Amino acid sequence: MTDALPARRLLLVHAHPDDETVGTGATMAHYAAAGAHVTLVTCTLGEEGEIHLPQLAQLEASQADQLGGYRLVELERACAALGVTDHRFLGGAGHYRDSGMMGLATNKHPRAFWQADLDEAAALLVAIMREVRPQVMVTYDENGFYGHPDHIQSHRVAMRAAELAGADGPEKIYFTAMPRSVLLDGMEAFRELDDNPFADAQTVDDLPFGHPNEEIAAQIDGTDYYERKVAAMRAHASQIAGNSWLYAMAGDFGGEFMGVEYYTLAKGARGPGGGPWGWENDLFSGLALGSSESVETAAR
């Protein structure tokens, strides 16, 4: 059938449920509230995740192996909190399995996303691109932001799909990022948090992420929506403990920490920006956008 899509169309490709919220939740809420069409593609159900709710302990992969189904519902609730109505799993829910952390035996599971044929997985994403025709795509850099195999594979699949989609693919591609200046400003508070996974880091050089300010292309200010991001985090209760350092940072710094997200630009021309570094404040900056576009879409 023929549907009219909004003039601005944003596609995000993430590895597991909760990645979308922690890394890009404020951005998603910001654009959804502004009337853009926000499409989230999640590549796995996150079956190998660590469970932070004791009552769900038996859902883990080594027991009932039902965590993926639970996280599917958590993701639905998180998307509702962010105002995102278009969410899909790559190939359908359960098509690819969470690979677990790098080097584990779970990387070799036959359905592990890490084992996915690149062109086959990319073709699944190309079909979505041709349906929604995003001008902008967000995913991870070649290291998956911090080295998880499913994040690295998400990067590979997204970039291959953008190549195969041709004119139906995004004009601009961004990778999630964190400026070194922001890390420096928050390093002391970050290091003192009890369950901070990078508590052993003494300097920003010890962290597996961080970019010089001159490499950052965009800063999206979603501080008006940071409470939606926090609500989406709470929807992912199996993965984000109630006493998580993320909530501690949210309590200490509020929207300043939770509501501002940063990106490097991997494809496309950098648009007008501002501030000392000329960072864009809109991922669609510099694009020629018309009115709503009518596209042929299959009924879902």
- Give the model's pLDDT for residue 180: 84
202 lies in some domain: no
Q: Note whether 79 and 25 are within 8 A (CB).
A: no
Q: Tell me the mean pLDDT in the region 72-98.
A: 98
Residue 65 gets the label, from left (phi > 0), alpha (psi -120 to 50) or beta, of left
Q: Note whether 221 and 27 are within 8 A (CB).
A: no
Per-residue pLDDT tens digits for 215-225: 999 999 999 99
Q: What is the CATH number of the domain that holds 40?
A: 3.40.50.10320
219 lies in some domain: yes
Long-range CB contacts for residues 77-81, cutoff 8 Å, separation at least 24: 77/232, 77/235, 78/17, 78/18, 78/20, 78/21, 78/25, 78/232, 78/233, 78/235, 78/236, 79/20, 79/40, 79/232, 80/235, 81/228, 81/231, 81/232, 81/235
- Give the model's pLDDT for residue 182: 78
Q: Are strands 293-296 and 218-221 parallel, antiparallel or unpaired?
A: unpaired
- Give the model's pLDDT for residue 7: 93
pLDDT, mean over the chain: 89
For the record, the structure tokens of 163 come out as 């190549």
- Give the model's pLDDT for residue 1: 37
Q: Note whether 25 and 228 are within 8 A (CB).
A: yes
Distance of CA 198 to the CA centre of its chain: 20
Q: Tell me the mean pLDDT in the region 152-179.
A: 97
pLDDT of 132 over the 60 cut: yes
DSSP 105-142: GGGGSTTBGGGS-HHHHHHHHHHHHHHH--SEEEE--T
pLDDT of 190 over the 90 cut: no
130 lies in some domain: yes
- Which is more confidently placed, 247 or 221? 221
Per-residue pLDDT tens digits for 192-214: 555 555 555 556 666 667 788 99
Least reliable range by pLDDT among 58-67, 157-166, 246-255: 246-255
Q: Which distant-in-sequence residues (6+ apart) come within 8 Å of 65 by Cβ?
A: 47, 59
222 lies in some domain: yes
- Give the model's pLDDT for residue 3: 64
pLDDT of 67 over the 50 cut: yes
184 lies in some domain: no
185 lies in some domain: no
Total domains in the fold of the chain: 1
- Which is more confidently placed, 34 or 206? 34
- Give the model's pLDDT for residue 246: 77
Q: Which distant-in-sequence residues (6+ apart) come within 8 Å of 62 by Cβ?
A: none
Query: What pairs with residue 126 in β-bridges?
Result: none
25 lies in some domain: yes
pLDDT of 31 over the 60 cut: yes
pLDDT of 99 over the 50 cut: yes
State how far the alpha carbon of 31 is from the alpha carbons of 20, 53, 65, 153, in Å. 14, 31, 35, 26
Tell me which H or E stretch contains 279.
Answer: none
Full residue range of the structural domain in which residue 17 is found: 2-179+210-246+255-283
Q: Tell me the mean pLDDT in the region 115-125.
A: 98
223 lies in some domain: yes
